[in-house]
Amino acid sequence: MKSYEELYEIVKKSVSEKRFTHILGVVERAVEYSEIYNVNIEDAKISAILHDVAKEISQEESYKLLEKYGVELDEVEKKNFNLVHSKLGAAIAKYEYGASDDIVNAIKFHTTGRENMSILEKIIYLADATEKGRKYKSELNELTRDEIVDLIKKDIDEGLEVVLRFSLRSLLSKNLMIHLDSVKAYNFYKKV
């Protein structure tokens, strides 16, 4: 497994400045959450630096790489290219950089979430959703980003439920398909 410092340089050269700024925001937030929840900081930093490594790869090249790594897409992913970078990024992390299964899963599910996530998966999902550059539409979410961050720091699962709910509302407002993993995640973390 390459070190965070090595991956930092690789990712910096492979994405746009705007994307790299977002990625560094996710790294910062992931470290913040990891310190609270006693998660390995290096694993969190590696997961965060790699979470969008495939985001700017063209559709044509993405499909070639998916085939190379033997990654299959489900029906929703085939219809929504925005979801493909998570699975492709996870494959790149695994096959090119030797990432652990937990890091691979944190990258793979950082967009959709899933039920029964590991603590690292939760941290990367939430760090991506709450990094400082993210904009929140107030009409879709009852809390501000800063209020959500405070909630996550007190109760990660409650924060996860709020972010999942916001994500579902956002997808519905854009008339986009919702991945079943997101629905299952929301139902799993919904406090009854």
Section 120-147 average pLDDT: 88
Q: In this structure, is residue 164 part of a structural domain?
A: no
Rounded Cα distance, 134 and 42, in Å: 23
Q: In this structure, is residue 143 part of a structural domain?
A: no
Domain residue limits at 105: 4-135
Closest to 111 measured CA to CA, from 187, 178, 62: 178
Number of structural domains found in the chain: 1
CATH number of the domain that residue 80 is part of: 1.10.3210.10
Q: In this structure, is residue 33 part of a structural domain?
A: yes
138 CB-near residues (< 8 Å, 6+ apart): 144
Rg of the Cα trace of the chain?
16
Is the pTM for the entire model greater than 0.75? yes
Q: In this structure, is residue 171 part of a structural domain?
A: no
- The pLDDT value recorded for residue 142 is 81
34, burial (CB in 10 Å: exposed 0-12, middle 13-18, buried 19+): buried
Q: In this structure, is residue 157 part of a structural domain?
A: no
Q: In this structure, is residue 28 part of a structural domain?
A: yes
Q: In this structure, is residue 43 part of a structural domain?
A: yes
Query: Given pLDDT bands bounded at 50, 70 and 90, which one contains residue 192?
Result: low
148 within 8 A of 130, measured Cβ to Cβ: yes
Q: In this structure, is residue 8 part of a structural domain?
A: yes
> Tens digit of pLDDT for each residue in 63-107?
999 999 999 999 999 999 999 999 999 999 999 999 999 999 999
- The pLDDT value recorded for residue 158 is 95
76 CB-near residues (< 8 Å, 6+ apart): 83, 177, 178, 179, 180
Q: Is 100 helix (H, G, I), strand (E, B) or coil?
A: coil
- The pLDDT value recorded for residue 102 is 98
Question: What phi and psi, each to the nearest 5 degrees, are found at residue 74?
Answer: -85, 180
**Sign of the CA dihedral 136, 20, 69, 100?**
negative
> What single-letter amino acid sits at 29?
R
Structure tokens at 187: 């139902």
